[in-house]
Amino acid sequence: MVKFAAFIITGSASMLAESAHSVADCGNQALLLVGRRRAVRDETEEHQFGYGAERYFYAFIVALVLFTIGSVFSIYEGIEHIRHPEHVDSPAVAFAVLGIAIVLESFSLRTAIAESSLARGASSWLAFIRRSKAPELPVVLLEDAAALSGLAFALVGVTLATVTHDGRWDGAGSIAIGALLGGVAVILAVEMKSLLIGESAGRDIERDIVAAIEGGPEVDGVIHLRTLHVGPETLLVAAKIAVVGADSAAQIARGIDAAERRIRAAVPIAQLIFLEPDLYRATQDDPADPAIRAARRSSRLRLRRGRGGPPSPRALRRRT
């Protein structure tokens, strides 16, 4: 509301762009909260894996809102002010509002960085944004960074318009804000689309899953592995595992139960586990399986074909 009041007083396109950006930010925070609340609903007959993906859906809507209300509107207003430049009235009001907003956004960005740092660990910021399965932190981090940068663009635009008495600089500031918001919206849309389609667990998690499955005497090795995030805190694990051929059905069932317990202990978010027992055969081995390849590379377990044919996964573990 303060930014809108400053726009009414000054007539600045950059202030109007920042006002629209603030409206979009408020709406986006509400959308993220709605997504979190709807994601915790219990499973139903129609949605048997739950509603965890609702958080991805609402984060995708955030990207659309940021693009339409923030980017397109700001660029349009900037072009109009360049075509029909207007003098910025009472620039001191704009400077005061922008200065206060920059201070407040700096505190908000610092909080977002602190919270994100706890989640990203040793990963780079780019890797954190690309690989994070919880959409809220990357969205808030990018929005706060864009908000602070947008305020800087607005400040530069209003300053140049005031110093040069050329309102087109104010319009240019609005266009810069719109382009910035458009870039952030595209990044968010691409990442949320990937999560909506379905992303697997990271290499470290898949390595832990393979190690957990193969960590007991009941399982001779992992033949195939597929993982899928059906929500930020819900991971689906499907694997074909090699069992000892002489085991009875009851022994195999107990072995699968034990393997499931080991998986849940190693990866608590692995709530949906489906293990299919089979006998290991060389022709069945899939060295191109991306999950197995990544897990074995991380564990330094590689298939080595010898004179007697490819060794079993358990034999590989004995060698290492």
How far apart CA 20 and CA 165 sit, in angstroms, is: 25
pLDDT confidence of residue 310: 40
How far apart CA 294 and CA 39 sit, in angstroms, is: 30
Give CA torsion, residues 307, 308, 309, 312, to 10 deg.
Answer: -130
| Domain residue extents for the chain | 2-197, 203-319
Residue type for position 127: A
Cβ neighbors of 74 (< 8 A, separation 6 or more) are 16, 17, 20, 21, 174, 175, 177, 178, 181
**Residue 26: its H or E element:** helix 13-39
How far apart CA 157 and CA 162 sit, in angstroms, is: 9
* Tokens coding 108: 């908000």
Q: Which fold has domain 2-197?
A: Alpha-lytic protease prodomain-like (1.20.1510)
Cβ neighbors of 185 (< 8 A, separation 6 or more) are 63, 64, 66, 67, 70, 71
* Positions of the chain with pLDDT lower than 70, given as ranges: 1, 280-320
Q: Which residue has the tokens 């995030």?
A: 229
pLDDT confidence of residue 263: 93
Q: How far are the Cα atoms of 27, 139, 173, 288 from residue 97, in angstroms, in the given order?
A: 21, 25, 16, 58
How far apart CA 256 and CA 253 sit, in angstroms, is: 5
How far apart CA 168 and CA 176 sit, in angstroms, is: 12
pLDDT (tens digit per residue) in 113-134:
888 888 777 778 888 888 888 8
Q: Are 316 and 300 in contact, with CB atoms under 8 Å apart?
A: no
CA R_g for the chain: 27
CA atoms within 13 A on the CB side of 284: 13
How far apart CA 92 and CA 194 sit, in angstroms, is: 45
pLDDT confidence of residue 113: 87
Q: Are 287 and 320 in contact, with CB atoms under 8 Å apart?
A: no
Cβ neighbors of 24 (< 8 A, separation 6 or more) are 65, 66, 69, 70, 181
Q: Are 223 and 296 in contact, with CB atoms under 8 Å apart?
A: no
pLDDT confidence of residue 235: 92
CATH code for the part of the protein at 203-319: 3.30.70.1350
How far apart CA 68 and CA 238 sit, in angstroms, is: 40
pLDDT confidence of residue 150: 87
pLDDT confidence of residue 279: 77
